Structure 1
Amino acid sequence: ERAKAGKYKDSSLKEVPEEIRTRFFAFENGFYALDKSIRESIHFRRHDILRDEPFPEMDIVFCRNLAFTYFSKESQVEVLKRIAFSLREEGYLVIGRDEGLPLVYPALFVPAFPEERIYQKFRMNTEG
């Protein structure tokens, strides 16, 4: 519910550069509030990642403390393929800090910010 409200404590954004905070957040009543136009473009949905059809054309997927912690290696590979299918070209996958991706990931993702466990969908070079 806190994420849906788009309001964050100062401590939650301490690692976010000032330029980003001032561009995308307003400080209101002791909280940083995410810009309304951004909040309105975010969709929260319940989704069984192993059974339900993947959502298409996602910009970013947060899959933290679930699939890459508790699922079998085979299920992790299936989840990774489904996420790759769901993401737009060059979209992002964010996993938990203590998680790792299955060894098949280099064919699907490249580390964007490895220390934060943020990966970018691998872009196939289609030029000649």
Structure 2
Amino acid sequence: MERARTGCYQWGSLKELPSDWLTKAFTQSDEFYCIRPEFRERIEFKQQDIRATMPSESFHLILSRNLVLTYFDADLQQKVLSPMLKRLIPGGVFVVGSHEFLPENLRHLQAIRLGVYHKER
């Protein structure tokens, strides 16, 4: 959580971002790319166990890399993904790990690139 709060990442963590996103959202200092303050100040960090409770808010972006689709069994994936994706606004983006694949019943999300999905409006 603390690493995410600082908003600074090495190139290896961001290399799969589209170059225009990198330019618009990050500044480069030495070996780090740091999220621009105007973006970082709008981010709220929470630590929750999504198996037990979901945030009540709606989201433009949900990052679920290397968690639900990697470590949860199929039943728990269904239990968690459905309410999670209901909180993703139409037009929002859902990101999973590049080695993870969505269950068939979640194909209403449109693939933008490997591991990045757009919720239909």
Q: Same fold by TM-score, threshold 0.5 exceeded? A: yes
Name the CA shift for 1:77/1:36 in 2 (closer, same or farther; >3 Å): same
1:18 to partner: Cα distance: 4.6
Q: Matched residue of 1:104: which SS? A: helix
Q: In the alignment, residue 99 of structure 2 is paired with which amino acid?
A: D
More divergent stretch after superposition (49-58 vs 81-90): 49-58
Name the CA shift for 1:17/1:52 in 2 (closer, same or farther; >3 Å): closer
1:28 equivalent in structure 2: 29
Say if 1:56 and 1:87, in contact at 8 Å, map to a contact too.
Answer: no
* Structure 1: runs of 5 or more not aligned: 124-128
1:68 to partner: Cα distance: 0.9
1:70 to partner: Cα distance: 1.9
How does the TM-score come out when normalised to structure 2? Answer: 0.82
Query: Pairwise mapping of residues 19-98 of structure 1 onto structure 2 (< 5 A)?
Result: 19-98=20-99
Name the CA shift for 1:49/1:99 in 2 (closer, same or farther; >3 Å): same
* Structure 2: runs of 5 or more not aligned: none
Q: Distance in 2 between matches of 1:118 and 1:19?
A: 16
Q: Distance in 2 between matches of 1:75 and 1:27?
A: 39
Name the CA shift for 1:20/1:92 in 2 (closer, same or farther; >3 Å): closer
Count of residue correspondences: 120
1:12 to partner: Cα distance: 3.5
Larger C-alpha radius of gyration, 1 or 2?
A: 1
Q: In the alignment, residue 37 of structure 2 is paired with which amino acid?
A: K
Query: Pairwise mapping of residues 112-127 of structure 1 onto structure 2 (< 5 A)?
Result: 112-113=112-113, 115=114, 117-123=115-121
Q: In the alignment, residue 93 of structure 1 is paired with which amino acid?
A: F
Residue identity over aligned pairs, in percent, reads 33
Q: CA RMSD in A?
A: 2.0
Q: Matched residue of 1:59: which SS? A: strand
1:48 to partner: Cα distance: 1.7
1:29 to partner: Cα distance: 4.2
